[in-house]
Amino acid sequence: MKKLLLLLALCVAALANFKGITPSQLQGEIDKNTVVIDIRTPPEWKELGIVPTSKTIMFFDEKGKYNVQAWLTEFSKHIKNKKQTFVLVCRSGNRTDVVGNFLSKKMGFENVLHLENGIKSWIKEKKEVIK
């Protein structure tokens, strides 16, 4: 029984696709109309701006608290099914790593991308931000 459960867990993990992308790859996703979701806080959006076309849906508040159900309700307005590709953005890539793993491994989303090193990498490459 344990071997069967392990095999099942490995199969589910293999179906999930969570990977980091570069700013140039993100630009390609934007050009394909892939949904971009910025999970930072409102003060962070104001301070550094957002990637054009991003949907702003805060996951962790300034104190690190979160409400998964409320976030998923907003998220589901933009992501219609578990096969749809989308990109997560945060400040440095740490929060999107946590949220992306949760969405792919626990929730079963199959095409989860995140901007490696977050909005900082986007800005470093002198890409456009909206403030």
Q: pLDDT band for 109, please (50, 70, 90 cuts).
A: very high
* Whole-number pLDDT of residue 4: 36
Rounded average pLDDT over 50-63: 97
Query: Tens digit of pLDDT for each residue in 4-49?
Result: 333 334 444 444 579 999 999 999 999 999 999 999 999 999 999 9
CATH architecture, domain defined by 16-124:
3-Layer(aba) Sandwich (3.40)
Contacts 24+ apart (CB under 8 A), 120-124: 120/48, 120/91, 120/92, 121/22, 121/23, 121/93, 122/23, 122/26, 122/51, 122/89, 123/48, 123/49, 124/23
Rounded average pLDDT over 90-102: 96
Calpha distance 129→49 (Å, rounded): 5
Q: Which residue has the higher pLDDT, 38 or 1?
A: 38
State yes or no: pLDDT of 95 exceeds 60.
yes
Q: pLDDT band for 3, please (50, 70, 90 cuts).
A: very low
Mean pLDDT of the chain: 90
